[in-house]
Amino acid sequence: MMLSRIKALMRSQTGFTLIEIIAAVAISGLIGLGASMASGQVLNQTARNNDYTTASRNAANALYWISHDVLMAQNIDGADGFPQTEDLCLQWVGWDNTEYAANYTLDNGVLRRIYSENGQVTTAVIASNINPDEAMTYCISDNGTLTVTITSSVGEGDRVVDVTKVREITSRPNL
């Protein structure tokens, strides 16, 4: 008697069919695949954004310091060969006859500013990851106007991000 009741209960129970279970697993798999691809894209794009920001800041910082000194300079040397064959040398005399010099040198992608005030020298790294290729980083001097093009390259392999900034600076005339 008990066995017949159990059989009766089992007949009225409904469950998932094999097709429903396969469909649920397939849908869950597609959702999981989409989520993992989206996560990978977010991580990849974040790295690119960080590289772009770093390259942009390096190029902007280099142009800031070079512009700052060119605006004061009375004498500009080495512009045509900078940074491949010559250092950029800027010199001026202040209102109180203090002699100033700012030399910019690029070595292994690191741009250094060697600043001298009445013979007292300080050296500072102002930018890194500067691309030394003559088509990417160069100066052009024309009648007291210096056009500086700086390219910073950050990243590795096929994921290198190049940021190029150009500034045209007119130095003060010789006094």
State the DSSP H helix or E strand holding residue 56, giving kind and residue range, or none if neither: helix 18-72
Please indicate, yes or no, if residue 28 is contained in any of the structural domains.
no
**pLDDT mean over 57-63:** 95
- Angle, alpha carbons 34-36-38 (nearest 5°): 70
Please indicate, yes or no, if residue 68 is contained in any of the structural domains.
yes
Please give the single-letter amino acid code of residue 124.
Answer: A
Give dist(CA 95, CA 33) in Å, integer: 69
Please indicate, yes or no, if residue 30 is contained in any of the structural domains.
no
DSSP category for residue 155: S
pLDDT in the model for residue 9: 58
pLDDT, averaged across the chain: 87
Q: What is the domain range of residue 96?
A: 36-170
pLDDT in the model for residue 20: 85
Give me 174's structure tokens. Answer: 């010789």
Give dist(CA 53, CA 115) in Å, integer: 27
**pLDDT mean over 61-84:** 89
175 pLDDT above the threshold of 50: no
Give dist(CA 30, CA 37) in Å, integer: 11
pLDDT in the model for residue 61: 96
Please indicate, yes or no, if residue 142 is contained in any of the structural domains.
yes
pLDDT in the model for residue 37: 87
* Exposure string over 116-148, b if 16+ CB within 10 A, otherwise e: eeeeeeeeeebbbbbbbeeeebbbebeeeebeb
pLDDT tens digits along 135-162 = 999 999 888 789 999 999 998 888 899 9
pLDDT in the model for residue 81: 83
Number of domains present in the structure of the chain: 1
- The set of residues, in sequence order, having a beta carbon less than 8 Å from that of 134 and lying 6+ positions away, is 84
Please indicate, yes or no, if residue 21 is contained in any of the structural domains.
no
Give dist(CA 159, CA 74) in Å, integer: 41
Please indicate, yes or no, if residue 75 is contained in any of the structural domains.
yes
DSSP category for residue 94: -
Please indicate, yes or no, if residue 8 is contained in any of the structural domains.
no
Please indicate, yes or no, if residue 25 is contained in any of the structural domains.
no
Give me 42's structure tokens. Answer: 């977010």
